[in-house]
């Protein structure tokens, strides 16, 4: 029986599962002579003016499939995903909030989606103005004077930020050797510092999970270029000694880098510029609601203090006195380019649309996010272990300490949560919490959903005590059962073969 027949028939259907069995690959649906496209007849003479030695005969194995098959294939595949629009997506640090659909419509306007980055300036005023306006809004929100929109995502923003610091220090004398990073930081921080040519020195957190001022004071030598700090940190705890931290870093001539992945905890309420932050990346796909799209595209603008402005990536978007906009390539002290063109422009459109929708009420984003995280915290305190019990901002990090004694791990709890209709929290991060369950509800969840989530987590805790096997063997109702990730790495199959 062909895969199609097998799949289409597939009785008896399991009512719990959206698709009765794994779907064939698009290549396995292929059939000789089927087509899924139409092009107009060629209206110029047919020609091949390239030597045959430089040409290929065919693309062996490529699909042959109709549009109908494609529609069905990708619709069915989509049903195997959990998404924000289906329910609470508790993936901490990722900020899985509602993605407004106006933004999608705006990004698809022909003037944006069908425009080209290298069109003459006179016919690109709309995109230049849009970038300029978004930059000004992000500058206002961060309290820092200038912003680059060029970085493609947060990690590239980090690299851009540290490269600017390096350039500034070189100008002052020498670039220094070390970057300090707390042990609670995102893995991208040390990786980015490394690719900027720095040696990473890890800073141990204090018993509260925050920066240990004594340890910082001791580590902050004149060989340290920057402290990379996440505010609030990855435990969801606000570094309340931020002004002291900035003072210590600045006293030794270092720069304070803020990882803005968690900006949604205080956007519109407080400004990093007032905290002494010198440079900060933001994730438009987190705080500013651009969709995560199954893993990108993102966008990672970086805001900088006056001292770093000369080093911004090239080109910058500028406004002339007559109100027209242009790209300024004449920036001799720039770190250079990090990618092609202006950046992920389509994300700029969405973020600007989002900020415009909130306007001066954008602080409600942070207020809602913090309220929701604390509500979950209150609902689960005592049920799950909370290693660091400082005040939570937009997320809360529990662990499986109580449950692991019963032979159930955070992975099991996460998988079981799927059966209750929720996307699991981020697991095993931050590294300073063993068996972490990092929960970020975001401001776009309402009380009934939060209550249901709390209920589910409490039920699972009860199951861990009464019927641990059901948790250990979870999930039971997902499109596939627990996936053998170890097997995937051991026996690598990374593509289909004709």
Partner 1 sequence: MKFLPTSDAERAAMLAAMGARSIDDLFAAVPAEVRRAPDLPPPMSEIEIRRFLGGLAKKNANARDTAFFLGAGVYNHYVSSIADQMLYRAEWLTSYTPYQPEVSQGTLQNIFEFQTHVCLLTGLEVANASLYEGASALVEALLMAERLSRGRTKAVLSAGIHPEYRETVRTYFSNLDLEVVEVPVGPDGATDARALAAAVDEKTFAVAVQSPNFYGVVEDWNAGSAAAKAKGALSVAVVAEAVSLALLSPPGEGGADIACGEAQALGVPMHNGGPLLGFLACRTEHQRQIPGRLVGQTRDAEGRRAFCLTLSTREQHIRREKATSNICTNQGLMALASNIHMSLLGKAGLREMALQSHAKAEYLKAAIAKIPGYRIPFSGPTFNEFVVEASEDAAPLLSRLAARGILAGVPLSRYGAAPSDRRRFLVAATEMNERAELDRLVAALSGRAA
> Per-residue contact track with partner 1, 212 to 231, x per CB under 8 A?
--------------------
Q: Binder to partner 1 among 5, 12, 50, 330 (CB under 8 A)?
A: 50
* Burial class, 198, CB count within 10 angstroms (exposed 0-12 / middle 13-18 / buried 19+): buried
Give the residue, chosen from 7, 88, 92, 124, that forms a contact with partner 1 under the rule CB under 8 A.
124
Residue 367 or 387 with smaller CB distance to partner 1: 367
Angle at 58 between CA 52 and CA 61, to 5 degrees: 155
Which residues touch 47 (CB under 8 Å, ≥6 apart)? none
Q: Which of 144, 211, 280, 370 touches partner 1 by CB under 8 A?
A: 370
Footprint (CB under 8 A) of partner 1, residues 258-297? 266, 268-272, 274-275, 283, 285, 289, 291-297
**One of 88, 144, 147, 155 touching partner 1 (CB under 8 A):** 155
Which residues in the 322-341 window bind partner 1 by CB under 8 A?
335-341
Name which of 45 and 405 has its Cβ closer to partner 1: 45
Q: Whole-angstrom Cα distance, residue 30 to residue 24?
A: 10
Taking the complex as a whole, how short is the minimal distance between the CB of residue 465 and partner 1, in angstroms?
23
- Asked if 11 is part of the footprint of partner 1 (rule: CB under 8 A), the reply reads no
Q: Per CB under 8 A, does 13 bind partner 1?
A: no
CB crowding 330-366: b at 16 or more within 10 Å, else e? ebeebbeebeeebbbbbbbbbbbbbbeeeeeebeebb
Contact between 197 and 169 under an 8 Å Cβ cutoff? The reply is no
Residue list 182-211, contact with partner 1 (CB under 8 A): 186-188, 190-197, 200
* Residue 108, phi then psi, degrees to nearest 5: -95, 5
Closest distance to partner 1 from the beta carbon of 322 (Å):
15
Question: Is there binding between residue 382 and partner 1 (CB under 8 A)?
Answer: no
| Residue 397 per-residue DSSP state | E
Q: In angstroms, what is the minimal distance from the CB of 403 to partner 1? A: 18
Q: Indicate whether 489 belongs to the interface with partner 1 (CB under 8 A).
A: yes
> Directed axis angle between helix 447-466 and helix 410-419, to 10°?
120
Which residue lies nearer to partner 1 by CB, 151 or 461? Answer: 151
Contacts of partner 1 in 27-46 (CB under 8 A):
27, 30, 34-37, 39-40, 42-46
Kindly state whether residue 119 participates in binding partner 1, applying the rule CB under 8 A.
yes
Asked if 98 contacts 445 with a C-beta cutoff of 8 angstroms, the reply is no
Residues 6 or more apart in contact with residue 150 via CB below 8 angstroms: 160, 313, 337, 338, 339, 342, 343
**Which CB, 240 or 465, lies closer to partner 1?**
240
Count of Cβ atoms closer than 10 Å to residue 9 Cβ: 9
Applying CB under 8 A, among 109, 171, 172, 462 the residue interacting with partner 1 is 109
Dihedral sign for Cα atoms in the order 423, 427, 429, 434:
positive
Sole window of 213-221, 303-311, 443-451, 461-469 interacting with partner 1 (rule: CB under 8 A): 443-451
Minimal distance, residue 464 CB to partner 1, in Å = 19
- Burial string for 126-165 (b: 16+ CB within 10 Å, else e) reads ebbebbbbbbebbbebbbbebbbbbbbbbbbbbbbbbbbb
CA distances (Å), origin 271, targets 211, 277, 280, 290, 375: 19, 9, 11, 21, 25
10 lies in the binding site for partner 1 (CB under 8 A): no
Q: State which of positions 413-432 bind partner 1 (CB under 8 A).
A: 414-415, 418, 423-424, 426-427, 429
* Best CA proximity match to 18, nearest among 96, 97, 79, 84: 79
Q: Which of 1, 5, 9, 114 binds partner 1 (CB under 8 A)?
A: 114
Among 234, 306, 355, 413, binds partner 1 (CB under 8 A): 355
Beta strands at 255-260 and 224-230: parallel, antiparallel or unpaired: parallel
Tokens of 49: 């003016």
Residues 301-320 that bind partner 1 (CB under 8 A): 313-314
Report the residue number, 296 or 382, with the smaller CB distance to partner 1.
296
DSSP, collapsed to helix, strand or coil, labels residue 4 as helix
Residue 331 contacts residue 310 (beta carbons within 8 Å): yes
Size of the site for partner 1 (CB under 8 A): 211
Q: Please identify which residue in 9, 15, 54, 320 interacts with partner 1, judged by CB under 8 A.
A: 54
Binding characters for partner 1, 389-408, by CB under 8 A (x = yes): -xx-x---------------
Q: Does 433 bind partner 1 (CB under 8 A)?
A: no
Q: How many CB atoms lie within 10 A of CB 495?
A: 7
**Beta carbon of residue 77, minimum distance to partner 1 (angstroms, whole number):** 4
Which one of 371, 406, 452, 456 is in contact with partner 1 (CB under 8 A)? 371
């Amino acid at each position: 029986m062909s895969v199609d027949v097998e799949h289409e028939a597939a009785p008896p259907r399991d009512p719990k599962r959206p698709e009765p069995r794994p779907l064939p690959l698009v290549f396995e649906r292929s059939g000789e002579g089927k087509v899924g496209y139409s092009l107009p007849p060629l209206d110029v003479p047919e020609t091949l003016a390239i030597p045959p030695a430089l040409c290929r005969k065919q693309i062996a194995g490529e699909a042959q499939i109709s549009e109908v098959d494609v529609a069905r294939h990708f619709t069915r595949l989509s049903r195997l995903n959990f998404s924000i629009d289906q329910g609470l997506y508790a993936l901490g640090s990722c900020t899985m909030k509602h993605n407004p659909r106006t933004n999608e419509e705006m990004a698809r306007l022909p003037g944006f989606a069908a425009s080209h980055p290298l069109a003459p300036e006179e016919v690109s005023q709309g995109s230049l103005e849009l970038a300029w306006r978004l930059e000004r809004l992000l500058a206002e929100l961060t309290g820092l004077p200038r912003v680059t929109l060029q970085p493609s995502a947060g990690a590239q923003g980090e690299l851009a930020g540290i490269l600017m610091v390096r350039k500034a220090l070189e100008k002052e004398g020498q670039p220094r050797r070390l970057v300090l990073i707390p042990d609670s930081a995102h893995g991208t921080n040390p990786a980015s510092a490394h690719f900027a040519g720095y040696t990473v020195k890890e800073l141990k957190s204090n018993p509260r999970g925050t920066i240990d001022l004594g340890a910082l004071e001791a580590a902050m030598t004149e060989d340290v270029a920057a402290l990379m700090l996440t505010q609030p940190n990855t435990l969801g705890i606000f570094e309340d000694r931020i002004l002291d931290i900035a003072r210590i870093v600045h006293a030794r001539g270092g720069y304070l880098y803020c990882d803005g992945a968690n900006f949604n905890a205080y956007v519109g309420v407080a400004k990093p510029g007032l905290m002494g932050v010198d440079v900060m990346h933001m994730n438009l796909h987190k705080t500013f609601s651009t969709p995560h799209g199954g893993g990108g595209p993102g966008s990672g603008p970086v805001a900088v203090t006056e001292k770093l402005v000369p080093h911004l990536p090239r080109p910058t978007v500028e406004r002339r006195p007559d109100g027209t906009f242009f790209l300024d390539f004449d920036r001799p002290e720039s770190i250079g380019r990090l990618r092609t063109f202006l950046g992920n422009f389509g994300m700029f459109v969405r973020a600007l649309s989002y900020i415009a929708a909130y306007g001066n009420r954008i602080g409600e984003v942070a207020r809602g996010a913090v309220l929701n995280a604390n509500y979950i915290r209150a609902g689960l305190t005592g049920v799950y272990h909370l290693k660091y019990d400082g005040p939570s901002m937009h997320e809360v990090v529990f662990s499986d300490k109580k449950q692991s004694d019963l032979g159930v791990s955070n992975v099991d709890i996460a998988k079981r949560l799927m059966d209750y209709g929720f996307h699991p929290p981020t697991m095993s991060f931050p590294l300073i919490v063993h068996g972490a369950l990092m929960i970020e509800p975001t401001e776009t969840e309402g009380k009934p959903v939060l209550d249901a989530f709390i209920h589910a987590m409490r039920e699972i805790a009860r199951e861990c005590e009464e019927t641990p096997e059901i948790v250990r063997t979870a999930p039971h109702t997902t499109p596939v059962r627990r996936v053998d990730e170890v097997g995937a790495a051991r026996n690598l199959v990374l593509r289909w073969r004709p």
